[in-house]
Amino acid sequence: MPSARRGSRAERIISFGVLALGIAAAIVAWRLPEAGGYARIGPNFVPKLIAGGLIVLGVWLLAECLTGGWRAPVADDAGERGEHPFVPRAFAWVSAGLLAQMVLISTAGFVIAAAALFVCVARGFGSARWLRDLAAGLAIGLAVFAFFVHFLNVNLPAGWLKPLLGAAGI
Amino acid sequence: MSETTSALLTGFGVALAPINLLWGFIGVTLGTAVGVLPGVGPALTVAMLLPLTVKLDPTGALIMFAGIYYGAMYGGSTTTILLNTPGESASIATALEGNRMAKRGRAGPALATAAIGSFVAGTIATLLLTLLAPVVVEIALKFGPTEYFALMVFAFVTVAAVLGASTVRGLTSLFVGLLLGLVGIDEQTGQMRFAFGVPELLDGIDVVVLAVGLFAVGEALYVAAYQSRIREQMQPMSGSLWMTREDWRRSWPAWLRATAIGFPFGTIPAGGAEIPTFLSYATEKKLSKHPEEFGNGAIEGVAGPEAANNAAATGVLVPLLTLGIPTSATAAILLAAFQNYGLQPGPLLFQTQGALVWGLIASLYVGNVLLLVLNLPLIGLWVKVLQIPKPLLYGGILVFATLGAFSLHQSVVDLATLYVFGLLGFLMRRWGFPVAPAVIGLILGPLAESQFRRALAISQGDPSVFFTHPISAALLALTAALVLVPWLVRVWREWRARRSSAPAHG
């Protein structure tokens, strides 16, 4: 019976998440000073409105979820959406690449961090050719580094490759 | 009228200066090259290329951006026709027929009618923009903060609530954007808000970081998780690029009709090219003498939606340039590009920076010509770009995306913020929250707040001004109607359906 469909667990969690975000925003907003002065509209007024809006929307989402599920939902089944089921490894590799870049960029420098990101993302998208990906990542990182530093005068951290890049005139 | 002509001539003087012509040329080429990449829509293209312009003068940079904006749209249509992975919802209609044409060995004429149709629609729409902009500016100069605020509320609601599949999810996306817009120092009082003592957050959240996070990082996470193991079939570039006499006969009325549909939709703050492309598709299907071809590669079904898409994209520039109100994600990022130079689009900009604004408008005419000249001969190159394997493609996209965020302040905090927005984008994509309202909310929210507070300061705190000023009252009433009427209709239908089905169950 399709009309008896209840919102999925994910829909419930997200609805509560929006509600929680609204409540958290409201708590922060209520602690802001009034300082309204002339028109009595201080820096806390609009935050209160927006927090209130989020709370209303959270309740609205929850109501839809409990009365037959969200309207016009995205299909839960990946096949219905024309996709394959969730691949946790792929998600993890892309995330790992981004985290590796954050960790590496200030110490190892932009080029190495970019190459690490590139290799991990390629791995996440199913590539098994580490060496090719590493070479491509290093090449892109170097090209971008040279272009930004030389033509745009934007500083990017050279990191561990500083002596090498310096010697190459980059 | 003659004022407009002379202003436009001045504009052409600016746009045709060799250096600006060069920026325009670089813009359309880069825009097309990046726009061709599967999964990279116009908004992301503009956001990723924003850091490249940091050292340019404003006129050159904005002319380059206009080129990128148009180029990204052209590039997107190539991808849609050859690969059938629409980069943005506005291309879905093209995908329906264009990809079928390519499958039947008529990729050439499909690409040609898309390119020439975009040129025709883009040029006519730019002409309409030229004529309409001074009129809107004239009206907008009479607007006070009250009217501006009402107009922004109208834009918020149409973009968030009316366009998508679900009103509540659109509004949720908008409010998340508005909340993010609060982060930083309050302009009027210097009060810190939602910054939690993190120095990097005091400047507020950069719209580029949000857009790149949602569109690039979120998209990469999503595609990796759900689509990376699917093999896509690229249609080989086949068939001559030349359209037959029959193709021309069937295409040109579709281009013109689509322009008439697309431009008005772009200009009203209802953003997005989605509705006009589908309207154009439906119109062509209805009027066609060959309705049986629809679904199997009817050329009108490519010509119309592509032209409508471009006409709407130009129409979006009317509220952006004359009122400072972005009504699509791409327009929001263009607004950020203006703000980077301390420029606030709006009626005053036409007076204080006339040469810049008219130069930009003139460069749209130039950009359209450049694209027509560039795009069809270079089709072989774009096909090569399309063949980049997904692992390398997304690796490259993320290197450039993170570069854009990092180069803003050279800060790891921006990279972390980017990843958080990426996770948010993943969730939004997976559970059907539109992304554009969040981006528009972030950039337009603070502007709306300051108009709101200014309006109340003038009225000495009396909130009734929003309902007693006629323009503002009309806009707010229209906004309320846009949300409430569809909702009431739905509730009434559900109630009626339940009543009529109840006796059947006994």
Same domain? For A51 and A99 the reply is no
For residue A105, being part of any structural domain is answered with yes
Most confident of A41-45, B254-258, B291-295: B254-258
Do A92 and A163 belong together in one domain?
yes
Residue where one domain finishes, among candidates A66, A98, A119: A66
Closest to B310 in 3D by CA, of B99, B170, B137, B129? B129
Distance CA B7, CA B10 (A): 5
Alpha-carbon gap, residue A62 to A15, rounded angstroms: 5
- Domain contains A78: no
Q: Does A38 share its domain with A8?
A: yes
Average pLDDT across chain B, whole number: 88
A116 within a domain of the structure (yes/no): yes
> Looking at the structure, do residues A61 and A103 belong to the same domain, yes or no?
no
Residue B433 has pLDDT above 80, yes or no: yes
B272 pLDDT band (50/70/90 cuts)?
low
A57-79 per-position pLDDT tens digit: 999 999 999 988 888 888 888 88
* A92/A61 same-domain check: no
Query: Does residue A107 share a domain with residue A162?
Result: yes
CB pairs under 8 A between A and B: 207
Q: A39, B431: Cβ pair inside 8 Å?
A: no
pLDDT in tens, B310-345: 999 999 999 999 999 998 889 999 999 998 888 999
Domain-embedded: residue A72: no
Q: What is the pLDDT of residue B503?
A: 56
Tens-place pLDDT, residues B59-77: 999 899 889 989 988 888 8
Provide the mean pLDDT of chain A: 88
Instruction: Indicate whether A82 belongs to any domain.
Output: no
Number of compact structural domains in chain A: 2
pLDDT tens-digit readout, A115-155: 999 999 999 999 999 999 999 999 999 999 998 888 878 88
Q: What are phi and psi of B47, to 5 degrees?
A: -65, -40
B132: CB partners within 8 A, 6+ apart:
B267, B318
In-domain check, residue A137: yes
Q: How far is A52 from chain B (nearest CA, A)?
A: 10
Same domain, A61 and A92: no
Six-digit token string for B305:
């939606």
- A23 contact B CB<8A: no
Tokens of B275: 């509705």
Are B226 and A78 a contacting pair, CB within 8 Å?
Answer: yes
Nearest CA in chain B to A79: B226
State ipTM: 0.93
Q: Answer whether A127 sits within 8 Å of B391, measured CB to CB.
A: yes
Q: Which residues of B touch A88 (CB under 8 A)?
A: 225
* pLDDT of B455 strictly over 50: yes
Coil, helix or strand at residue A30: helix
Residue environment code for B41-59, b if the CB has 16+ CB neighbours within 10 A, otherwise e: bbbbbbbbbbbbbeebebb
In a domain, A118, yes or no: yes
pLDDT at site B506: 38
SS3 B98: helix
Which residues 126-155 in chain A show a CB within 8 A of chain B? 126-127, 133, 136-137, 140-141, 144, 148, 152-155
For residues A51 and A9, state if they share a domain: yes
Please state the pTM of the whole predicted model.
Answer: 0.91
A47 touches chain B (CB under 8 A): yes
- Give the pLDDT confidence score for residue B502 in this predicted structure: 61
Which residues 57-116 on chain A approach chain B with CB closer than 8 angstroms?
57, 60-61, 64, 70-74, 78, 81, 83-88, 90-91, 93-95, 97-99, 101-102, 105-106, 110, 114
Counting every residue, how long is chain A? Answer: 170
The reply to whether A62 and A92 lie within a common domain is no
| pLDDT classification of B295: cutoffs 50, 70, 90 | confident
Average pLDDT over residues B144-150: 94
Residues A94 and A160 in one domain: yes
Q: Is B185 helix (H, G, I), strand (E, B) or coil?
A: strand
Residue at A75: amino acid letter = A
| One domain for residues A8 and A61 | yes
- Euclidean distance between CA atoms B44 and B385, whole angstroms: 17
User: What's the domain range around A35?
Assistant: 2-66
Please state, in angstroms and as integers, the Cα–Cα distance from residue B372 to each residue in A165, B28, B82, B263, B363, following that order: 41, 10, 18, 20, 14
A15 found inside a domain: yes
Alpha-carbon gap: B182 to the closest alpha carbon of chain A (Å): 7
Residues A121 and A162 in one domain: yes
DSSP B36-53: HSTT--HHHHHHHHGGGG
